[in-house]
Amino acid sequence: MSDTILETTGLTREFQGFVAVNEVALRVREGTIHALIGPNGAGKTTFFNMLSKFLAPTRGTIRFKGRDITSLKPAQVARLGLVRSFQISAVFPHLTALENVRLALQRARGASFDFWRSEQVLREYDDRARQLLFDVGLTEYVETSAGLLSYGRKRALEIATTLALDPEMMLLDEPTAGMTHEDVDRIVELIKRIRQGRTILMVEHNLSVVEGLCDTITVLTRGRILAEGDYATVSKNPEVIAAYLGTEHA
């Protein structure tokens, strides 16, 4: 087991003389939940954007399932099975929850360039979309415009949409950011349920979420990896405590 699914070597991103991510070598093992934590400005989101190809690295390589994906486009990476979520909730606000999920399921048809066909052909995905919405607890909101959902439910909808692609690996950018306690619990339960057969790499601020959920934790500060290991190891590392929690906690 535990083969490497995603691997970066010497991954670097510079912005006008500022090095946001510096020579990061990360290995994510298949089937694990891997967390990326670190204080604000540590380069987590930059790193994340490079993995999903929304940002080109200055140097370094990214390999996914043994294949070099460094020069691919975002949509290509998504089709290979590496799908990301966004820090700000990314839904299609004027479309219903069902339509949101269906847009991901629609990917199974290949490219939807058929502008002459009725959208009735998409009905075949409705059952699967309803099932996914049920899985994330949104059954009541199937016909509601996504823009009207609460913040937590938007995140749930976003996860349902991402799941609809049945990705081998999911990149979750702060899945619980800005959520109420109940919503956080719901999302954690959800992530536990969907982890079968998948690899998840998540950026997370909330340490209690990371504690119960993640197999491996990588701590990033100032663009570099500071420590790596399971929660017990990492949380006892004095350097991590100093960098992440501030020296007064040490």
Partner 1 sequence: MSISSRTQTDIDRAAGEAAPVVPKAGSMFGFSRTQAIAFAIMVLLVVLCPWVLYPVFLMKVLCFALFACAFNLLIGYVGLLSFGHAAFFGMGSYITAWTVKHWGLSAEVAIILGGLTGAALGLVLGWLAIRRQGLYFAMITLALAQMVYFFCLQAPFTGGEDGIQQVPRSSLFGLLPLDRDMAIYWLVAFVFLAGFLFIHRVVHSPFGQVLKAIRENEPRATSLGYRTDDYKLIAFTLSCTLAGIAGGTKALVFGIATLTDVHYSMSGEVVLMTLLGGLGTIFGPVVGALVVTAMENYLAQFGAWVTVTQGAIFILCVLFFRKGIVGTVGGWFRLEL
Q: Are 103 and 127 in contact (CB under 8 A)?
A: no
Closest contact distance (angstroms) between CB of 158 and partner 1 is 8
- The tokens describing 2, both together, are 């535990």
Minimum separation from the CB atom of position 36 to partner 1 (A): 18
Q: How far apart are CA 11 and CA 70, in angstroms?
A: 10
Residue 235 tokens read as 């949380």
- The smaller minimum CB distance to partner 1, of residues 104 and 202, is found at 104
Per residue, the 3-state secondary structure of 62-97, as one string, reads EEECCEECCCCCHHHHHHHCEEECCCCCCCCCCCEH
Backbone torsions φ then ψ of 166, nearest 5 degrees:
50, 55
Please say which residue, 19 or 165, places its beta carbon nearer to partner 1.
165
Please, which residue, 114 or 239, has the CB nearer to partner 1? 114
Q: How far is CA 130 from CA 96, 103, 142, 172, 238, in A?
A: 12, 13, 7, 22, 47
Summarize as ranges the residues that interact with partner 1 (CB under 8 A).
52, 54, 73-75, 78-79, 83-86, 90-96, 99, 102-104, 106-107, 109, 111-119, 121-122, 143-145, 147-148, 161, 165
Q: Which is nearer to partner 1, 163 or 217 (CB)?
A: 163
CB of 111 to partner 1, least distance (A): 7
Q: Shortest distance, CB of residue 23 to partner 1, whole angstroms? A: 26
Q: How far is the CB of 248 from partner 1 (least distance, A)?
A: 39
Task: For Cα atoms 78, 80, 82, give the angle at the middle one, nearest 5 degrees.
Answer: 50
Nearer to partner 1, 19 or 95 (CB): 95
